[in-house]
Amino acid sequence: MLLAGAVWLGACSHAGEPWELTNVSGHLPDLDFKLTGDNGQPATGASFRGKTALVYFGYTHCPDVCPETMARLMNVLAKLGPDAQNARILFISVDPARDTPQALHAYVGAFDAQHARGLTGSDAQIQALAQRYRVAYQMEKREPNGDYEVTHSSAVYIFDTQGRARLLATDRDTPDAIAHDLRRVIAGTS
């Protein structure tokens, strides 16, 4: 009887505990999109149900913020250990003119081909999705030689296995804090 009580208390140890990241439950819509995956195949939000999704809007020609964020997310996955099998990083391009499925595949594959997926679409699809999740980005004038930058927000949106928006991580959140809360989301504890 004492052992059963200890197991029950251990299972509820996170109940009521505050999140280290920003809790966006009920404030952002579910994970819902129709884009093209880095394998050239259609991908939807439902394609990633059953996994916890870390959604990041960036672009492959980004000189600093995107590779730094992806490296930080690799650190988070490393901290998760075996729980990383239950997470996917969805890198959604805000630069569909240059970020073909092939370019995205090479980019995310350089970080983690097992856990990261690149997604792209038309300008209209990306703009609508960015508005849906309140992502700010602004493209400089597209030069014919392909030399331009895109200013964009750097937040990572975390969705649970059912595609519900749960948390928002910023560049101020440490990999330890992200891993801590991500582990709770993966385990299904609130």
Whole-angstrom Cα distance, residue 177 to residue 27? Answer: 21
Parse the chain into domains and list their residue ranges.
20-187
- pLDDT band, very low/low/confident/very high, at 9 (cuts 50, 70, 90): very low
Q: Top-level CATH class of 20-187?
A: alpha beta
Residue 80 has pLDDT above 70, yes or no: yes
* pLDDT over 70, % of the chain: 91
Residue 11, pLDDT > 60, answer no
Find out whether 45 and 88 touch, Cβ atoms under 8 Å. Answer: no
pLDDT of residue 6: 37
Please report which residue ranges of the chain form alpha helices under DSSP H.
2-11, 65-80, 101-112, 123-132, 175-187
Residue 94 has pLDDT above 50, yes or no: yes
Distance CA 80, CA 126 (A): 30
Least confident of 9-13, 83-87, 102-106, 144-148: 9-13
6 versus 172: the higher-pLDDT residue is 172
The band of 183, judged by pLDDT with boundaries at 50, 70 and 90, is very high
Mean pLDDT of 160-175: 96
Task: List CB contacts of 20: < 8 A, sequence separation 6 or more.
Answer: 173, 177, 178, 180, 181
